[in-house]
C-alpha cells in the first residue's frame, strides 16, 4: 500500500499555533489518490527544497548553472508551476504550497513532464523567503492567494508590509513580481502595500493595465472557476536598484 503524505495540524486558528498568523486555510480536503500519495515517498525527497533552520538557502547548489531562479508562492495544483518549468527548462522553479492535495497534484505534473528544474516546499512560503539570500530571484509569482475577504480576517492575508519588504529584498534589480487576484478588495490591499515598499515600482501605466493578462500567463482550473467578485486583476512590479 502506498504511503500517505505527511500529516499536519489542520486548524489554522489553533490556539497553540506559534509564529506568524497562517495566510492559508485548510491543508487537506479529499483523500490523496494512491498514485499521488506514493510520490511523496518516491519523488518528493528528490525535489523537496532544503530550508535550513539557520542561515540561508544555497540557491546555486539547487541547480548549478541555472539561468534564472523563480519563486511561486501558493502554486495550488501545480499547473502554472509545471507549465512555466517546461517552458523554461534552464530556470530553477521553486514552488511553495501547504495544501497537501495541491502538492500531490504538483508531484504528478513533475513526474509526467519529466521536469528536473522544480523544487517544492510543502509548508509556509514565508520561511523560504526569509531563508533566501539577497537579490537571488528573477521572478516572484503569487497567483490567487486566499483572499480572507472578511474584514476581521484581513490580518491573515499573505500580503503584509513585512512580506512585501522581504520580497523586494530577495528580488534581483530588474526582477519582476506578479500578484494576481480575483477579489477587488485584495487587489487594492496588495497594491497599497507594494507601492509603499522601497525598491518596488508598478509596471502599470493606468488601471486598465491590471485587467490585461500578461503574455506568459497560464490559466489554471482554479482561475476558470471564477470564484471571486471580479475578473482576474494582474499587478506587476519591478525591483529597482
For the stretch 208-218, pLDDT in tens is 999 999 999 99
Mean pLDDT of 20-41: 73
pLDDT band of 22, cuts 50, 70, 90? low
Cα 65 to Cα 97: distance, rounded to the nearest angstrom: 25
- 224 annotated as belonging to a binding site for a ligand: no
> Above 70 in pLDDT, residue 42?
yes
- 150 annotated as belonging to a binding site for a ligand: yes
| Region of poorest pLDDT, from 9-13, 48-52, 139-143 | 9-13
Q: What is the pTM of this model?
A: 0.87
Cell of 5: 503524505
Give residue 31's pLDDT: 80
Give residue 29's pLDDT: 57
| Region of poorest pLDDT, from 28-42, 54-68, 184-198 | 28-42
Cell of 169: 529584498
- 124 annotated as belonging to a binding site for a ligand: yes
Mean of all residue pLDDT scores within the chain: 89
Give residue 153's pLDDT: 58
Mean pLDDT of 44-48: 97
Give residue 152's pLDDT: 72
Fold classified for 39-239? Rossmann fold (3.40.50)
Q: Which residue's C-alpha cell is 532544503?
A: 50
pLDDT band of 14, cuts 50, 70, 90? very low
Give residue 21's pLDDT: 58
Helices 79-87 + 100-113 axis angle, to 10:
30
Instruction: Give me the residue spans of the domains in the chain.
Output: 39-239
> Above 60 in pLDDT, residue 228?
yes
- 72 annotated as belonging to a binding site for a ligand: yes
pLDDT band of 5, cuts 50, 70, 90? low
- 176 annotated as belonging to a binding site for a ligand: no
Cα 29 to Cα 147: distance, rounded to the nearest angstrom: 19
Q: Which residue's C-alpha cell is 500531490?
A: 104
The closest alpha carbon to 108, from 43, 63, 46, 62, belongs to: 43
Cα 25 to Cα 147: distance, rounded to the nearest angstrom: 10
Cα 144 to Cα 161: distance, rounded to the nearest angstrom: 18
Give residue 17's pLDDT: 40
Looking at the DSSP assignment, which residues form a beta bridge with residue 119?
Answer: 94
Is 146 catalytic? The answer is: yes
Cα 151 to Cα 220: distance, rounded to the nearest angstrom: 27
- 79 annotated as belonging to a binding site for a ligand: no
- 186 annotated as belonging to a binding site for a ligand: no
Give residue 9's pLDDT: 41
Q: Annotated catalytic residue: which of 11, 146, 209, 231?
A: 146
Amino acid at each position: 500500500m502506498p504511503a500517505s503524505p505527511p500529516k499536519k495540524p489542520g486548524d489554522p486558528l489553533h490556539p497553540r499555533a506559534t509564529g506568524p498568523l497562517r495566510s492559508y486555510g485548510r491543508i487537506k480536503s479529499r483523500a490523496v489518490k494512491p498514485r499521488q500519495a506514493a510520490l511523496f515517498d518516491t519523488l518528493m525527497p528528490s525535489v523537496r527544497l532544503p530550508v535550513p533552520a539557520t542561515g540561508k538557502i544555497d540557491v546555486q547548489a539547487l541547480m548549478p548553472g541555472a539561468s534564472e531562479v523563480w519563486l511561486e508562492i501558493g502554486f495550488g495544483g501545480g499547473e502554472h508551476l509545471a507549465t512555466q518549468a517546461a517552458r523554461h527548462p534552464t530556470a530553477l522553479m521553486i514552488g511553495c504550497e501547504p495544501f497537501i492535495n495541491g502538492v500531490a497534484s504538483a508531484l504528478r505534473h513533475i513526474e509526467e513532464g519529466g521536469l528536473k528544474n522544480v523544487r517544492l516546499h510543502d509548508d509556509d512560503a514565508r520561511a523560504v523567503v526569509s531563508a533566501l539570500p539577497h537579490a537571488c530571484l528573477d521572478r516572484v509569482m503569487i497567483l490567487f492567494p486566499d483572499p480572507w475577504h472578511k474584514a476581521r480576517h484581513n490580518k491573515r492575508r499573505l500580503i503584509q508590509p513585512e512580506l512585501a519588504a522581504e520580497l523586494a529584498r530577495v528580488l534581483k534589480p530588474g526582477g519582476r513580481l506578479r500578484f494576481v487576484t480575483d477579489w477587488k478588495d485584495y487587489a487594492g490591499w496588495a497594491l497599497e502595500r507594494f507601492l509603499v515598499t522601497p525598491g518596488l515600482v508598478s509596471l502599470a501605466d493606468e488601471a486598465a493595465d491590471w485587467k490585461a493578462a500578461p503574455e506568459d500567463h497560464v490559466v489554471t482550473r482554479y482561475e476558470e472557476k471564477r470564484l471571486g467578485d471580479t475578473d482576474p486583476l494582474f499587478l506587476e512590479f519591478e525591483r529597482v536598484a
